[in-house]
């Protein structure tokens, strides 16, 4: 149903984009001498658009509703369609307006992206009611297994973990958040069939080498409909940035440094400066009031915590003390915006780590730490390291904006944080 809806939405968006571009560029579409030719081109372009979007995986069930890369694929699909149209007009010598050619695909990309955003919002609502959710099973019992299962069971993942398979834990035993052991990895096929499982998540560091080898062989040869995923750990994500080389027919994988490019660094710094200036300007009255109140009470206005920054250079992270009039973690962190302006901190980044500790291999040494970041979803330090490495390896300006948007939504939706917590507490006292 979802894929069929997306196909129809993409067709309507493409038709609307082509027609709207013709109207905006004053091209003859209806009732004019050359209208038939343009409609022939449109009938040719609609299947071309679907083919370009399909080539980008926009109708692959594995990619639907999963992250923001769907929109970048829309742009690449539209760019491919534009290239096909340009080549076709040159080959067939069609007198088609270049202005209409470019504008039409720009509008198609915008309309397709907008419709997919609306469909995604609707699908997310249905997802919370159990739609578009596939049963999943974990293979390998470890601390990471519990953390991954907890993350996947949250709304939006498209998965529901129904159990775990392990060679060492007895069948029926419960680990973590009600995660039951359903058998051994050797019983994957019958257990998956009995539980209607479609997704399998393997925790490599929780399995013996022989078991992992057998699972990998079965996953690449058996055609039973099971989709097998490997849960990436810290060292797995380190190897996502590699280059392949060869010396006397010996294949070598060379690890790239865990850092941003110069262009990414410049874009990130620009976003940091813009947001820091806007936030300081918007919250300046509150900052002034809190500073005066703390000074009148003869309390220290700022806390200074020594943390490790980029390249291991330590700095003092500024924050308000806990006893604020406004009990909000956001307000308490606002002085850290001065660290952002000084170039020591970023708005979004890895978690700030105490200076002087064991920081070997930490992502905090390669990029400025952040006031917020993916690490806020972590339940333990190991998972925090994995998320930090993932953030650096997959950095984009859009990822920063996505994290900030998610953090803003979580603060608005959670009644247990900041001023909402204070209001809820006061209401509870009044009700009592």
Encode the chain (432 residues) as per-residue pLDDT tens digits: 788 888 999 999 998 988 888 888 876 654 455 566 667 777 888 888 899 999 888 888 766 666 667 888 899 899 998 888 888 878 777 777 788 888 888 999 999 989 988 888 887 777 777 777 889 999 988 877 888 888 788 776 778 899 999 988 889 888 877 889 999 998 888 998 898 888 899 988 888 888 888 888 877 776 567 888 888 765 565 555 667 777 777 777 776 666 777 888 888 999 999 999 999 999 899 889 888 988 888 888 899 988 888 777 888 999 988 878 777 788 888 999 999 999 999 999 888 888 766 555 555 566 888 888 876 665 566 667 777 777 877 778 888 888 888 788 777 765 444 444 444 444 444 443
Are both 421 and 290 inside the same structural domain?
Answer: yes
For residues 314 and 405, membership in a common domain is answered with yes
Domain boundary among 74, 94, 127: 127
For residues 19 and 122, state if they share a domain: yes
Whether 248 is covered by a domain: the verdict is: no
Asked whether residue 150 is domain-assigned, the answer is yes
Q: Please tell me whether residues 276 and 419 are part of one structural domain.
A: yes
Q: At what angle do helices 35-55 and 2-24 cross, to 10 degrees?
A: 140
What does the block give as tokens for 48? Answer: 């071309």
Question: Collapsing DSSP states into helix, strand and coil, what is residue 315?
Answer: strand
Residue 325 belongs to domain spanning: 262-431
Q: Could you tell me if residue 249 is inside a domain? A: no
Whether residues 321 and 426 fall in one domain = yes
Q: Check if the beta carbon of residue 318 is closer than 8 Å to that of residue 345.
A: no
pTM: 0.57
Q: At what angle do helices 69-92 and 35-55 cross, to 10 degrees?
A: 140
Structure tokens at 247: 């010396």
In a domain, 27, yes or no: yes
Alpha helix stretches (DSSP H) within 128-208: 143-152, 188-195
Do residues 272 and 335 both lie within one domain? yes
404 and 332: one domain? yes
Domain match, 294 and 406 both: yes
Question: Exposure pattern of 70-90 as b/e (b: 16+ CB <10 Å)?
Answer: bbebbbbbbebbbebbeeebe
Q: Report the number of distinct structural domains present in the chain.
A: 3
CA distance linking residue 112 with residue 95, whole number of Å: 27
For residue 120, is it within any domain?
Answer: yes
Report the distance separating Cα 47 and Cα 87, nearest Å: 16
Q: Decide: 366 and 392 in contact? Cβ < 8 Å.
A: yes
The 8-class DSSP code of residue 130 comes to: T
* Residues 166, 210 within the same domain: yes
């Amino acid at each position: 149903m979802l894929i069929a809806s997306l196909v129809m939405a993409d067709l309507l968006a493409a038709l609307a984009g082509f027609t709207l571009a013709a109207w905006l560029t004053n091209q003859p579409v209806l009732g004019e001498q050359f209208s038939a030719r343009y409609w022939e081109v449109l009938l040719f372009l609609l299947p071309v658009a679907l083919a370009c979007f399909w080539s980008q995986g926009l109708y692959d069930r594995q990619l639907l509703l999963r992250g923001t890369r769907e929109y970048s694929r829309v742009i690449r699909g539209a760019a491919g369609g534009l290239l096909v149209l340009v080549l076709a007009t040159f080959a067939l010598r069609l007198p088609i307006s270049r202005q209409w050619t470019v504008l039409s695909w720009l509008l198609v990309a915008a309309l397709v992206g907008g419709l997919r955003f609306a469909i995604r919002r609707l699908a997310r609502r249905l997802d919370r009611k159990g739609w578009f959710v596939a049963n999943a099973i974990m293979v390998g019992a470890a601390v990471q297994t519990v953390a991954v299962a907890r993350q996947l069971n949250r709304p939006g993942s498209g998965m529901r973990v129904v159990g775990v398979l392990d060679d060492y834990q007895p069948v029926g035993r419960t680990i973590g958040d009600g995660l039951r052991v359903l058998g051994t990895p050797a019983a994957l096929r019958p257990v998956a069939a009995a539980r209607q499982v479609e997704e399998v998540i393997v925790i490599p560091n929780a399995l013996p080498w022989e078991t992992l080898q057998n699972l990998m062989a079965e996953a690449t040869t058996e055609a039973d409909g099971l989709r097998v995923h490997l849960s990436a750990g810290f060292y797995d994500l380190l190897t996502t940035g590699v280059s392949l080389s060869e010396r006397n027919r010996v294949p070598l994988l060379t690890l790239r440094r865990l850092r941003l490019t110069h262009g990414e660094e410049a874009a990130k710094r620009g976003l940091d400066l813009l947001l820091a200036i806007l936030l300081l300007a918007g919250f300046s009255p509150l900052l002034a009031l809190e500073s005066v109140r703390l000074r009148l009470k003869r309390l220290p206005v700022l806390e200074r915590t020594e943390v490790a920054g980029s390249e291991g250079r330590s700095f003092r992270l500024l924050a308000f003390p806990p006893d604020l009039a406004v009990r909000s973690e956001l307000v308490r962190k606002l002085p850290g915006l001065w660290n952002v302006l000084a170039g020591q901190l970023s708005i979004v980044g890895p978690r700030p780590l105490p200076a002087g500790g064991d920081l070997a291999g930490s992502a905090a040494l390669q990029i400025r730490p952040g006031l917020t970041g993916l690490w806020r979803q972590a339940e333990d330090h190991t998972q925090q390291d994995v998320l930090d490495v993932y953030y650096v390896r997959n950095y984009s300006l859009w990822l920063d904006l996505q994290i900030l948007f998610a953090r803003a939504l979580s603060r608005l939706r959670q009644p247990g944080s900041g001023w909402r917590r204070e209001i809820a507490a006061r209401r509870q006292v009044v009700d009592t």
